[in-house]
Structure 1
Amino acid sequence: MSLFQDTYDVIVVGAGHAGCEAAAAAANMGSSTLLVTMNLQTIAQMSCNPAMGGIAKGQIVREIDALGGYSGIVSDKTAIQFKMLNKSKGPAMWSPRVQSDRMRFAEEWRLRLEGTPNLDFYQEMVSGLLVENNKVVGVTTSLGIKVRGRSVVLTNGTFLNGLIHIGEKQFGGGRAGERPATGITEQLLDFGFDSGRMKTGTPPRVDGRSLDFSKMIIQPGDDVPEKFSYSKETSPLTNQRPCHMSYTSPEVHDLLREGFDRSPMFNGRIKSLGPRYCPSIEDKINRFADKDRHQLFVEPEGWDTCEIYVNGFSTSLPEDVQFKALRSVAGFENVKFFRPGYAIEYDYFPPTQLKHTLETKLVSGLYFAGQINGTTGYEEAASQGLMAGMNAHLKVHDQEPFTLQRDEAYIGVLIDDLITKGTEEPYRMFTSRAEYRTLLRQDNADERLTPRSHKVGLASEERLVTMEKKREQSDNLVKFFEDTSILPEEVNDILEERGSSPMRQSDKMFKVFSRPQIHLEDMKQFKKVAAYIDEHSLERNVLEQAEIKVKYAGYIAKEKANADKLQRLENIKIPDNFDYSKLKSLSFEAREKLSKIRPTTISQASRVSGVSPSDISVMLVYMGR
Structure 2
Amino acid sequence: MFSDVYDVIVVGGGHAGSEAAAAAANMGSKTLLITMNLQNIAQMSCNPAMGGIAKGQIIREIDALGGYSGIVSDNSAIQFKMLNKSKGPAMWSPRVQSDRMRFAEEWRLMLEKTKNLDFYQEMVSGLLIEKNQVAGVRTSLGIDVKAKSVVLTNGTFLNGLIHIGDKNFGGGRAGERAATGITEQLIELGFDAGRMKTGTPPRVDGRSLDYSKMIEQPGDAQPEKFSYLDITKPLEEQRSCHMTYTSLEVHELLREGFDRSPMFNGRIKSVGPRYCPSIEDKINRFADKDRHQLFVEPEGWNTVEVYVNGFSTSLPEDVQYKALRSVRGFEQVKFFRPGYAIEYDYFPPTQLKHTLETKLVQGLYFAGQINGTTGYEEAASQGLMAGINASLKIAEKEPFMLKRDEAYIGVLIDDLITKGTEEPYRMFTSRAEYRTLLRQDNADFRLTPKGYELGIASKERLRRMEEKESRARAFVEFFKDTSVTPEEVNPILESKKSAPVKQQDKMFKLYARPNITIRDMKKIKSVASYMDQNNLDSEIIEQTEIQVKYAGYIEKEKNNADKLNRLENVKIPLNFDYSKLKSMSMEARQKLAEIQPVTISQASRISGVSPNDISVLLVYLGR
Distance 2:492 2:242 in 1: 39
Question: Counterpart amino acid of 1:122?
Answer: Y
Q: 1:421 — aligned with what?
A: 419
Q: 1:502 — aligned with what?
A: 500
| Greater shift in the superposed pair: 336-345 or 515-524 | 515-524
Q: 1:608 — aligned with what?
A: 606
Q: 2:58 — aligned with what?
A: 60
Q: 2:82 — aligned with what?
A: 84
Distance 1:78 1:11 in 2: 28
Q: 2:475 — aligned with what?
A: 477
Query: Percent identity of the aligned residues?
Result: 79
Distance 2:489 2:228 in 1: 35
4+ runs deviating over 4 angstroms: none
Distance 2:319 2:495 in 1: 57
Q: 2:31 — aligned with what?
A: 33
Q: Please, which of 251, 276, 288 is the counterpart of residue 274 of structure 2?
A: 276
Alignment of 1:235-246 (within 5 A): 235-246=233-244
Q: 2:42 — aligned with what?
A: 44
1:505-538: CA deviations, max 9, x gaps? 1101101100001011111122211111111111
Secondary structure of the residue aligned to 2:73 is helix
Question: Counterpart amino acid of 1:488?
Answer: P
Alignment of 1:479-494 (within 5 A): 479-494=477-492
Q: 2:515 — aligned with what?
A: 517
Distance 1:54 1:469 in 2: 28
Q: 1:316 — aligned with what?
A: 314
Q: 1:192 — aligned with what?
A: 190
Secondary structure of the residue aligned to 1:151 is strand
* 1:5 Cα offset (Å): 4.0
Find out whether 1:345 has 2:350 as its counterpart: no
Distance 2:497 2:381 in 1: 44
Q: 1:202 — aligned with what?
A: 200
Q: Structure 2: which 5+ residue stretches go unaligned?
A: none
Distance 2:233 2:16 in 1: 25
Question: Counterpart amino acid of 1:507?
Answer: D
Q: 1:457 — aligned with what?
A: 455
| Greater shift in the superposed pair: 489-498 or 108-117 | 489-498
Question: Counterpart amino acid of 2:547?
Answer: K
Q: 1:105 — aligned with what?
A: 103
1:559-586: CA deviations, max 9, x gaps? 0000000000000000112110111111
* 1:497 Cα offset (Å): 1.6
Q: 1:288 — aligned with what?
A: 286
1:324-350: CA deviations, max 9, x gaps? 000000000000000000000000000
Distance 1:597 1:521 in 2: 53
Q: 1:431 — aligned with what?
A: 429
What TM-score comes out, normalization by structure 1 length? 0.99
Distance 1:56 1:577 in 2: 35
Q: 1:147 — aligned with what?
A: 145
How big is the alpha-carbon RMSD for the aligned residues of Structure 1 and Structure 2?
Answer: 0.5
Distance 1:32 1:336 in 2: 47
Distance 1:173 1:499 in 2: 62
Distance 2:362 2:428 in 1: 31
Q: 1:586 — aligned with what?
A: 584
Question: Counterpart amino acid of 1:220?
Answer: P
Distance 2:243 2:326 in 1: 15
Q: Please, which of 563, 568, 572 is the counterpart of residue 561 of structure 2?
A: 563
Distance 2:492 2:259 in 1: 64
Distance 1:575 1:520 in 2: 52
Alignment of 1:238-387 (within 5 A): 238-387=236-385
Find out whether 1:159 has 2:157 as its counterpart: yes
Distance 2:133 2:535 in 1: 55
Distance 2:615 2:518 in 1: 48
Distance 2:525 2:78 in 1: 38
What TM-score comes out, normalization by structure 2 length? 1.00
Find out whether 1:222 has 2:220 as its counterpart: yes
Q: Please, which of 540, 546, 549 is the counterpart of residue 548 of structure 1?
A: 546
* 1:539 Cα offset (Å): 1.3
Q: 1:410 — aligned with what?
A: 408
Question: Counterpart amino acid of 1:372?
Answer: I
Q: 2:535 — aligned with what?
A: 537
Distance 2:3 2:11 in 1: 17
* 1:33 Cα offset (Å): 0.2
Secondary structure of the residue aligned to 1:382 is helix
Distance 1:150 1:223 in 2: 50
Distance 1:97 1:145 in 2: 42
Q: 2:70 — aligned with what?
A: 72
Secondary structure of the residue aligned to 2:272 is coil
